Amino acid sequence: MQLRTLPDLHADPFDRLLIAQAIAEECRLVTADEKVLAYPLLTLAA
Protein backbone atom coordinates (compact mmCIF):
# COMPACT_ATOMS: atom_id res chain seq x y z
CA MET A 1 0.00 0.00 0.00
CA GLN A 2 2.83 2.40 0.80
CA LEU A 3 4.24 2.05 -2.71
CA ARG A 4 0.97 3.13 -4.35
CA THR A 5 0.70 6.30 -2.27
CA LEU A 6 4.38 7.19 -2.46
CA PRO A 7 5.09 10.57 -4.11
CA ASP A 8 6.86 10.18 -7.46
CA LEU A 9 10.11 11.88 -6.43
CA HIS A 10 12.40 9.03 -7.48
CA ALA A 11 12.32 7.09 -10.77
CA ASP A 12 14.32 4.05 -9.60
CA PRO A 13 11.80 1.28 -8.81
CA PHE A 14 14.12 -0.57 -6.41
CA ASP A 15 14.77 2.60 -4.40
CA ARG A 16 11.01 3.24 -4.29
CA LEU A 17 10.52 -0.28 -2.87
CA LEU A 18 13.16 0.37 -0.21
CA ILE A 19 11.53 3.69 0.70
CA ALA A 20 8.06 2.13 0.93
CA GLN A 21 9.38 -0.71 3.10
CA ALA A 22 11.21 1.70 5.41
CA ILE A 23 8.04 3.76 5.85
CA ALA A 24 5.88 0.67 6.46
CA GLU A 25 8.30 -0.80 9.01
CA GLU A 26 9.17 2.60 10.54
CA CYS A 27 12.86 1.89 9.94
CA ARG A 28 15.69 4.33 9.41
CA LEU A 29 17.17 4.30 5.90
CA VAL A 30 20.85 5.19 5.43
CA THR A 31 21.53 6.83 2.07
CA ALA A 32 23.58 9.39 0.19
CA ASP A 33 20.87 9.74 -2.47
CA GLU A 34 19.37 13.25 -2.34
CA LYS A 35 16.17 12.02 -3.98
CA VAL A 36 15.63 9.45 -1.22
CA LEU A 37 16.32 12.08 1.44
CA ALA A 38 13.40 14.12 0.03
CA TYR A 39 10.86 11.51 1.17
CA PRO A 40 9.08 11.80 4.53
CA LEU A 41 10.84 8.96 6.33
CA LEU A 42 13.53 8.48 8.93
CA THR A 43 16.82 8.85 7.08
CA LEU A 44 20.44 9.14 7.97
CA ALA A 45 22.53 10.93 5.38
CA ALA A 46 25.64 8.95 4.51
Q: Structure pTM?
A: 0.77
State the greatest distance between any 2 C-alpha atoms of the chain, in Å, as a whole number: 28
In the chain, which ranges are E strands? Answer: 29-31, 43-45
Whole-angstrom distance, CA of residue 38 vs CA of residue 23 = 13
Whole-angstrom distance, CA of residue 4 vs CA of residue 34 = 21
Q: Write out pLDDT tens, residues 5-42.
A: 787 888 899 999 998 899 889 898 899 999 988 888 87
Residue ranges of domains in the chain? 7-45
